[in-house]
Amino acid sequence: MFSLQTKKAVVTGGGSGIGQAIAVLLAKQGAEVHILELGEEQAADTHALIREAGGTAFVHVCNVAAQPDVLRVFEEIGAIHILVNNAGIAHVGKADTTTEEDFDRIMQVNVKGVYNCLYAGIPQLRKAGGGSIINMTSIASIVGIPDRFAYSTAKGAVRAMTLSVAKDYLADNIRCNCISPARVHTPFVDGFLAKNYPDNREEMFEKLSRTQPIGRMGRPDEVAALALYLCSDEASFVTGCDYPIDGGFTTLNN
């Protein structure tokens, strides 16, 4: 089960955290993985992990917010079977504390970046006879999260994109689903705590962990396992769905 032999996958933002875990697992299952990152150095660790395990991986320097860049890379890669739109950036702020510059930056990467990869990737999925698209959203697209105005807005847009794409490409054998994680322990979390809570990092880590009813943050490999299922032929009857992976956050926090 869950074999990806003969499949070609694109993972944006595959250099660290959830993107890295997904890229590594897809390669382990036999896929040829193409990692899109802003620089080769950002993808070096993922590339090395895959190659050391005997997998096949390629790194493409690409700014997902720049459509000419994205079109060039997808044309170089050619026909694909899997597209994971994982690249994204975070932001902390309310509606009246988010600057126009920050709002535009979030939209460029988290919304336009996904659109650009869909625009360039869907023709390549058609060439392969269809396949699977996964968009990484967030529980912030489902429930209210404090101080995440721009981020929530962007992830809500991606959730809507998922439904639209799933509907429009049924006849092309292209499935599209999204995954909505709660807090996942990634290098971003560690950096956020180090920057904002240098004197009580452990206390804040525990506090953030306890916001999930299950009592801890998720792990990148747990999200990757769900992504693998949605990429695989075992999920051939699944499209247009959003999968919260949140330790009970969206249903048990009451």
Q: Report pLDDT digits (tens) over 95-105.
A: 999 999 999 99
- Each residue of 205-246: pLDDT tens digit? 999 899 899 999 999 999 999 999 999 999 999 999 999 999
- Each residue of 67-78: pLDDT tens digit? 999 999 999 999
Q: Average of pLDDT values for 54-58?
A: 98
195 versus 32: the higher-pLDDT residue is 32
Considering only CA atoms, which of 46, 144, 30, 32 is closest in space to residue 87? Answer: 46
Does 126 have pLDDT greater than 80?
yes
Q: What is the pTM of this model?
A: 0.95
CB 117 within 8 A of CB 85: yes
- The residues carrying an active-site annotation are 151
Residues 6+ away with beta carbon under 8 Å from 120: 67, 70, 71, 73, 74, 75
